[in-house]
Amino acid sequence: MKKTEMLLTIAVCVVLASATVSRAAEPTSSPQKLYADLLATFPEDRQGYGKDGFLLVVDHQPMTYGLVLSAEAVHFQRKPNDETQRRVRKAVRWLMDNRDLDGDGLPGWGLPQPWDAWADGTTNGPNHVYTITTAIVLDGLMDAMEARPLWTENEIKEMRGLVIDVVMRWCRSIWSDGYGGGFFWYSPSRNDEIFGINAPAMFLSGMARLLHDHKQALQPDQFALIQSRADQLARAIVSTVEIRDGQPFWLYAPEPNKLNHHRPNDLLHHFYTLWGIERYRDCGGRVPLPWSREAALRTADRFWTDGKLCDYEYVKDKASGCPPVSARLWSAGMMLAFCAKYGDTAQAEKCLRAIQQDYGPWPQLSCAPKAGVKNVFPRQSSHVLLGLAFHAFPDRNPDAGR
């Protein structure tokens, strides 16, 4: 090799090595930067608007408004800024103004599109109210009320009054006894009088917080009924749990049920269930839970298979040989939210890395791994935003409950 060629080769190698070191030294985006980039995909004046996976409608989704509201309320409490203040107020206003989109004179929130919730041939119409959607909105409103500097006393009274009206509606009219206690139906329709555990459990979160944080605003008969329903629901959740190695798991709908429905909770609905029942624990719930908080957090480990996050716990020696199913985006987001909220930073970071790697490019997250941006749905990615709010802006008070 000629001397000039050798020098050129050495120079190229040095440049390449320098570039490699530079790339290796580049820090990954911080959780705060990831949060800001994802938040920007929810326009400030239409935070719950966009395409949805069910029937591919493009409309306002109350669930998305509720999740963005919760995320931004957490953000405001821990790192307040002007934009976050505006977003919280605008999301609350939209939800308050759209409390009765089905026009029946009763408060609640649902889906703008028709849906056959249990695939039993009974389709609910547009804007039909659902327990899960309403539960997520209630949590958003409860989170907003915790951001006290944002509100006048009259505004707090208005929000709290709506929460009480919604909770009392469910306690009086959308309830059945059973399963060692009782349960809220999947929706106000008698066709949906089924204990789909995740939805009532999420609803329990708002009820428990109402009882704990706003007891003084409740009439004695209201307090007694809400507390009775909360405890009965907690008993039903406990009576239907399966404890595996000290860890809690549930079927999606416990047996017996009128549709002979039998399947386990997927990742999303598993963490919806844990979110609600653990909030009940935080708020001093009177029904003992036969698992620990640590055991609830450890259930996340069972949804990883060969380094991939799956929608169902995969048992490798299962007789059917059923392969693991990749987690949907909102499943990953809800797991991130639960783990981050309750302090499992390592699991939260692992989940966040998987979302970045498999659902990107960030922040245009697809609803399934490597599906591409054509499947971006705000209602799914808003679950990730909620998770990132707890991960990027952790509560510095280790004794914080709700």
Instruction: Quote the pLDDT of residue 13.
Output: 39
| CA gap 347, 328 in Å, rounded | 17
pLDDT in tens, 212-236: 999 999 999 999 999 999 999 999 9
- Is it the case that residue 29 has pLDDT exceeding 50? yes
Is 139 inside a domain boundary?
yes
Nearest to 181 by CA among 130, 217, 121, 229: 229
Mean pLDDT, rounded, of the chain: 91
Enumerate the H helices of 174-292 as residue ranges: 198-213, 220-239, 267-282
pLDDT in tens, 11-20: 433 333 333 3
- Is it the case that residue 383 has pLDDT exceeding 50? yes
| CA gap 182, 193 in Å, rounded | 12
Instruction: Quote the pLDDT of residue 25.
Output: 29
What are φ and ψ of residue 212, in 5° steps? -80, -45
- Find the mean pLDDT for residues 8-29: 40
Instruction: Quote the pLDDT of residue 96.
Output: 98
Please list, in sequence order, all residues whose beta carbon lies within 8 angstroms of the beta carbon of residue 3, skipping any fewer than 6 positions away: none
316 — pLDDT class (breaks 50, 70, 90): low
Is 131 inside a domain boundary?
yes
CA distances from 21 to 7, 27, 28 (A): 21, 12, 14
Instruction: Quote the pLDDT of residue 375.
Output: 82
- Is it the case that residue 5 has pLDDT exceeding 60? no
Given a contact cutoff of 8 angstroms between Cβ atoms, the answer to whether 68 and 48 are in contact is yes
Residue 285 CB coordination number (10 Å)? 22
- Find the mean pLDDT for residues 165-178: 98
Instruction: Quote the pLDDT of residue 26.
Output: 35
For strands 304-305 and 308-309, give the pairing.
antiparallel
- pTM assigned to the model: 0.91
As for how many domains the chain has, the answer is 1
Tokens of 239: 């009576």
Is 153 inside a domain boundary?
yes
User: In which domain, by residue range, is 330 found?
Assistant: 30-299+325-392
- Find the mean pLDDT for residues 331-350: 98
359 — pLDDT class (breaks 50, 70, 90): very high
CA distances from 370 to 31, 228, 356 (A): 21, 46, 11
pLDDT in tens, 57-93: 999 999 999 999 999 999 999 999 999 999 999 999 9
Given a contact cutoff of 8 angstroms between Cβ atoms, the answer to whether 266 and 312 are in contact is yes
Is 5 inside a domain boundary?
no
Is 18 inside a domain boundary?
no
Is 308 inside a domain boundary?
no
Please list, in sequence order, all residues whose beta carbon lies within 8 angstroms of the beta carbon of residue 72, skipping any fewer than 6 positions away: 39, 84, 87, 88, 91, 389
Is 304 inside a domain boundary?
no
| CA gap 382, 361 in Å, rounded | 16
What are φ and ψ of residue 57, in 5° steps? -75, 155
| CA gap 361, 278 in Å, rounded | 33
- Find the mean pLDDT for residues 192-203: 98
| CA gap 289, 250 in Å, rounded | 14
CATH for 121: 1.50.10.10
Query: Half-sphere exposure (CA, 13 Å, Cβ side) for 215?
Result: 8
55 — pLDDT class (breaks 50, 70, 90): confident
- Is it the case that residue 397 has pLDDT exceeding 70? no
Secondary structure letter of residue 27 according to DSSP: P
- Find the mean pLDDT for residues 313-318: 63
| CA gap 211, 139 in Å, rounded | 13
Instruction: Quote the pLDDT of residue 323.
Output: 67
Nearest to 402 by CA among 214, 184, 246, 265: 214
322 — pLDDT class (breaks 50, 70, 90): low
| CA gap 115, 121 in Å, rounded | 10
373 — pLDDT class (breaks 50, 70, 90): low
Is 80 inside a domain boundary?
yes
- Find the mean pLDDT for residues 373-381: 88
Instruction: Quote the pLDDT of residue 54.
Output: 84
